[in-house]
Amino acid sequence: MEIGRVVGTVVSTIKLDGLTSYKLLIVTPLSATKELTAAEGRDDYVAIDLAGSGEGEIVLVTRGSAARVSGATDVPTDAAIIAIVDTIQIGTRNAYSKP
């Protein structure tokens, strides 16, 4: 799993039947080593949204075969948003709190 920020949406009027009930969102991977910043050398990607997230939110994403969860087993995807993050604590410091 990885932490990311939703930065946009993808709209497609024609897509595989299994994808019709899912939002497609663009996610930027984040690095949580010191501050939540865009992870260097990592590209944005499209993920199906299983958690009801929206633009600007910090999310938890699963990738690869683990992305086929929660009723999406027949959907050809390699990234799925599985949670909206409320807080992130790094050591004793609160790195993020949902507004």
Q: What's the 3-state SS for 13-73?
A: CCCCHHHCCCEEEEEEEEECCCCCEECCCCCCEEEEECCCCCCCCEEEEEEHHHHCCCCCC
How far is it, in rounded angstroms, from Cα 76 to Cα 89? 33
How high is the pLDDT of residue 73? 61
Confidence of residue 44 (pLDDT cuts 50, 70, 90): very high
How high is the pLDDT of residue 83? 96
How high is the pLDDT of residue 71? 58
Confidence of residue 15 (pLDDT cuts 50, 70, 90): confident
How far is it, in rounded angstroms, from Cα 8 to Cα 25? 6
Domain extent, residue 27, equals 2-97
Q: Which CATH number fits the domain that encloses residue 77?
A: 2.40.50.220
Predicted TM-score (pTM) of this structure: 0.86
Q: What is the mean pLDDT of residues 70-87?
A: 82
How high is the pLDDT of residue 42? 83
Question: How crowded is residue 90: how many other Cβ atoms within 10 Å of its Cβ?
Answer: 13
Number of domains in the chain: 1
How high is the pLDDT of residue 55? 95
